[in-house]
Amino acid sequence: MSNASNKVFAKTWMIAVYVFLYLPIITLVVFSFNDSKLVTVWSHASFRWYAALAQDSDLISAVLLSLEIAGLSALMSVFFGTFTAFALNRYKRFKGRTLLTSMSSMPLVMPDVIVGLSLLLMIVSVQNWLGFPERGLFTILLGHALLGTAYAAVVVTSRLREMDSKLDEAAMDLGCKPMQVFTLVTFPLLVPALVSAFLLTFTLSFDDVVLSSFLSGPGYSTMPMVIFSRARLGLNPTINAVATVTITVVTIAVIASSFYTSHQERKRKREEAQAYSDSNK
Amino acid sequence: MATAPKETNKAAQEVLLRVENVTKVYDGTVKAVDDVSLTVMKGEIFALLGGSGCGKSTLLRMMAGFETPTKGKIFLANQDITNLPPFQRPINMMFQSYALFPHLSVWENVAFGLKRDGMPKDEIADRVEKMLSLAQLNKYAKRKPHQLSGGQQQRVALVRSLAKRPQLLLLDEPLGALDKKLRETTQLELVNIIEEVGVTCVLVTHDQEEAMTMASRIAVMSEGYFLQVGAPDAVYEMPNSRKVADFIGNVNIFEGKIEEDEPDHVTVRCPECIHYVGHGVSGHPGMDVGVALRPEKIMLSKDKPNSDYNWCAGEVIEIVYFGAHTTYHLKLDSGKVIKAQELNNTRDLSCGLTWGDRAYASWNNLAMVVLTQ
């Protein structure tokens, strides 16, 4: 095949992939501005469904609940995930290490349905036995934190692994007690990993529908649960509106963060080049 | 480029570090360090030299406090520090990877240890200033480690470990991460700074050149114990065993038996030649010995020497040109290959030997060392 036709093929392929990935999303966004009550028939542009969304207290409270759960469970995940990663990385020999290693990554491969079901069974029996916890916010949080901890542990572990372990020793050598080593050296260096672990687990929790469905009680419906149940009753264009709002927020966040990281990267490259040319003077 | 051994300090030397019968066993079976004892004098630069896995790093880490000896004791200025944690020892270490804190500036890196000691702020500023000017780093004070070149990072690491004025400075492969050209200049800079501060040093290296140029004494280590301890020239010119002779520099070893054993000379008969050694050795006639001969002590010529001793003949099978000198590989009649190094002191390659030539190698009767171990 010639070079030119290679290029044509590559381009076509790329366009096909983009269409496949983004056409549905674009359709959704466009139809959120549709005046018609039917999701698939275009009449004319309007903000009708956004107005309806503002009135839809069920959906709004579901979004707020989702945000609350995602935020809290992400915090919990990062907290426990960091400790797990630490134990696995810094303490090479302790009893049950192998068990902890495999158990901590189990939720990554276990189907959500199984995790959700087993958690539900456990919670129900604990509830029968002790009288709590009532199914609701707390139980959903528990489930999401369980799943998130596994993901956060993976993210933090990879960062810890690439960190020079001599830094800890250097800190100790210069007079740090073990706790100070953590607060003055390890923690500041972990911050980027903690942020990305937080974002990842936040997202996981925000779009989870399986675990939430198993673990929620009356009065506690997260946004994905509401969307899911409404979709089964026949789509309502309000859903398009709420999805568009979500997409907008996510897009802005993603673009901003990629701008920031590429800016940092360029700055770093420039400074390294500067150091190199300085030292050759 | 070897700087002369620095034994000029006070006549009555104080012992700073004493390691007594230290053994370190890993996992119950692997002996990393095997019953090692050593003393380091105040003001000395002491090198632990050996290949990878010889136990030199483990020994250094025990001095720093990152490992505890399985057996034995370590004393610093007569105080038992064997079980003291690293953050309580008046010892600082410069790491091979430098281990500079990437989130802190050069200034903060150097001040890090001082802040942990709760030193007043103005004193810290003073000390850091002094340290930075010692390494000519003042104008880089605000930079982060990644904004520095390799040589600058190395200097930051050095002054950071000197900032607390430790009684003992440990250097782990101090030049390991630099390229060859930078090494030579950095080596001298490093020694100058260390001597200016006057701190006692223990350094670990696998590079014999580094050990010889920097240290006043060297301990050659293998399989967890010391083969020989001595000044660089003593270790080089008077190795006490085949292992040391082989590890430090290049060497040709002839195996043979002592024939004559007189107080002022010995002769050793080898399959290739007879060695006439111009000094006595502690051996007896008939004893199996090795005769070690450094390549640079061999003279090559096309003409047969008219002596009964200290020469052999062979065919030139390899010529390796190094610029300042050339190494010839000579295949002797017995099949043994020896190396001879000739200085290129004129611009035409002096002795005019080429591949396949028959050449005679000869040497002085004080050039070799008789090895009984």
* pLDDT category of residue B263 using cuts at 50, 70 and 90: confident
Asked if B101 and A170 come within 8 Å (Cβ–Cβ), the reply is yes
Measured in degrees and rounded to the nearest 5, phi and psi for residue B95 equal -85, 155
Check whether B320 has a pLDDT greater than 70: yes
Which tokens is B118 given? 């709760």
Which class is domain B252-371? mainly beta
Return the higher-pLDDT residue of A115 and B348.
A115
Predicted confidence at residue A121, as pLDDT, reads 92
Over 50: is that where the pLDDT of B200 sits? yes
Strand order in the sheet with B299-301: B299-301, B358-362, B311-321, B325-332, B337-343
CA of B154 vs chain A CAs: smallest distance (Å): 13
Q: Which of A164, A274, A276 sits opposite B99 (nearest CB)?
A: A164
**Are residues B87 and A167, on separate chains, in Cβ contact within 8 Å?**
no
Nearest CA in chain B to A269: B147
pLDDT surpasses 80 at B17: yes
- With an 8 Å Cβ cutoff, are A173 and B87 in contact? yes
pLDDT under 70: residue ranges of chain A: 1-2, 276, 278-281
pLDDT at position B360 over 80? yes
**In chain A, what residues touch B144 (CB-CB under 8 Å)?**
271
On chain B, the residues whose CB falls within 8 A of the CB of A277 are: none
Looking only at the bridges linking them, the beta strands covering B15-26 and B30-41 are antiparallel
pLDDT digits (tens, 9 = 90+) for B217-233: 999 999 888 999 999 99
Q: Is A175 on the interface with B (CB under 8 A)?
A: yes
- Given CATH 1.10.3720.10, say whether it is the number of domain A57-267: yes
Q: According to the model, what pLDDT value does residue A281 have?
A: 47
Using the predicted structure, report yes or no on whether residue B69 has a pLDDT greater than 80: yes
- Among B95, B136, B168, most A C-beta atoms within 10 A, so best to mutate, is B95
Give yes or no for A170 touching B (CB within 8 A): yes
Is there a cis peptide before residue B86, judged by omega within 30 degrees of 0?
A: no
Residues of A in contact with B189 (CB under 8 A): none
Which of chain B's residues have a Cβ under 8 Å away from the Cβ of A180?
116
Widest distance between CA atoms in chain B: 77
- Bigger pLDDT: B293 vs B283: B293
- Its ipTM equals 0.78
Residue with tokens 């959500």: A112
CB contact under 8 A, A173 and B143: no
Residues sharing a CB contact under 8 Å with residue B100, sequence separation 6 or more, in sequence order: A170, B109, B145, B153, B156, B157, B160
A188 interface with B at CB cutoff 8 Å = yes
Q: How far apart are CA B250 and CA B340, in angstroms?
A: 10
Q: List chain A residues with CB under 8 Å of B99.
A: 164, 166-167, 169-170
Contacts of B56 (CB under 8 A, 6+ apart): B48, B49, B50, B204, B206, B221
Owner of token pair 């275009």: A42
Report the percentage of chain B scoring pLDDT > 70: 95
- For residue A225, count other CB atoms closer than 10 A to its CB: 20
A196: tokens are 């990305």
pLDDT number for residue B73: 93
Give the pTM: 0.77
Of B91, B95, B146, the CB nearest to A166: B95
> Is B21's Cβ below 8 Å from some Cβ in A?
no
The residue type found at A157 is T
- Inspect the interface and report whether the beta carbons of A175 and B87 lie closer than 8 Å: yes
When pLDDT is averaged across residues B123-152 and rounded to a whole number, the result is: 89
Chain B within 8 Å of A162 (Cβ-Cβ)? no
Chain A residues with CB under 8 Å of B93 CB are: 169-170, 173
Contact list in A for residue B92 (CB cut-off 8 A) is 173-174
Q: For chain B, what are the domain ranges? A: 15-242, 252-371
Pick among B57, B94, B112 to test the A interface (most A CBs inside 10 A): B112
Per the prediction, chain B carries an average pLDDT of 87
8 Å CB contact between B201 and B44: yes
CB nearest B87 (choices: A167, A177, A272): A177
| Domain spanning B15-242, CATH class | alpha beta
Q: Where are the beta strands (DSSP E) in chain B?
A: 15-26, 30-41, 45-49, 71-76, 79-80, 91-94, 168-172, 200-205, 217-222, 225-230, 252-261, 266-269, 274-277, 288-293, 299-301, 311-321, 325-332, 337-343, 358-362, 368-371
What residues does each domain of chain A span? 57-267
